[in-house]
Amino acid sequence: MLFKYKGFDKTGKKVKGTVTASSVEEAGQKLRMQNIYHEGLIPTKEFSLDAFSKRQMPVELLSTFSKELSSYLNSGMTILTAIKLLENQHEGEKKYVSFLNSIKTMIDEGKSLYHALNTQKVYALPDFFLQSLNVAGQSGKMVEVLTNMGNFFSAQNKVKNR
């Protein structure tokens, strides 16, 4: 979602612009990270180029990603190692490898899996999936949530194919 803002930078200069975020709270956080103190955030109907260029991740691929990542994490691997393995396994799928590479880079920089998935520019992911992973990361239930998401998307794909 795209938000318009007006505010001040850290020097007190008036600034205005747009920020892409999934909620008003996230937009405010992004602006604070840029040292911009906003007076208001207004959702806009305009399309952001990022949101427009992202394609929805196919349900089958989302199921596979969730199940494989869950399996690796369950075996005791770190998220970074698991993503690297996934990247090696799917070498022939350019778009998916690009997706995995962008996630790997952000996780290597110390970002959470939720943050990496939410800010990558390759695939649009369902919001409930992202929010579930956010909560799972905070509660230590990542393997269980990924397994359940993988099963959910697999069942959804079967229903869709019928």
Q: How confident is the model at residue 138 (pLDDT cuts 50, 70, 90)?
A: very high
CA atoms within 13 A on the CB side of 141: 10
106 has pLDDT over 70: yes
- Fold type of domain 55-161: Receptor-associated Protein (1.20.81)
The first and second tokens of residue 149, run together, are 């998401």
Residues 133-144, mean pLDDT to the nearest whole number: 94
43 has pLDDT over 80: yes
Q: What's the pTM?
A: 0.66
Neighbours of 140 (CB within 10 A): 8
Residues 7-30, mean pLDDT to the nearest whole number: 85
- Domain locations in the chain as residue ranges: 2-52, 55-161
Q: Residue 47: its pLDDT value, please? A: 52
Q: Residue 126: its pLDDT value, please? A: 92
Q: What is the CA radius of gyration of the chain?
A: 18
How many percent of the chain have pLDDT more than 70?
Answer: 94
53 has pLDDT over 70: no
- Spatial distance between the Cα atoms of 47 and 92, rounded to a whole number of angstroms: 32
- pLDDT higher at 15 or 47: 15
Q: How confident is the model at residue 52 (pLDDT cuts 50, 70, 90)?
A: low
Query: Do residues 66 and 153 make contact, with C-beta atoms less than 8 angstroms apart?
Result: yes
DSSP class of residue 123 equals: E
- Spatial distance between the Cα atoms of 44 and 31, rounded to a whole number of angstroms: 16
Q: In 3D, which of 151, 143, 16 has the Cα closest to residue 69?
A: 143
Q: What is the tens place of the pLDDT at every residue in 79-91?
A: 999 999 999 999 9
Q: Residue 18: its pLDDT value, please? A: 85
50 has pLDDT over 60: no
Q: Residue 8: its pLDDT value, please? A: 87
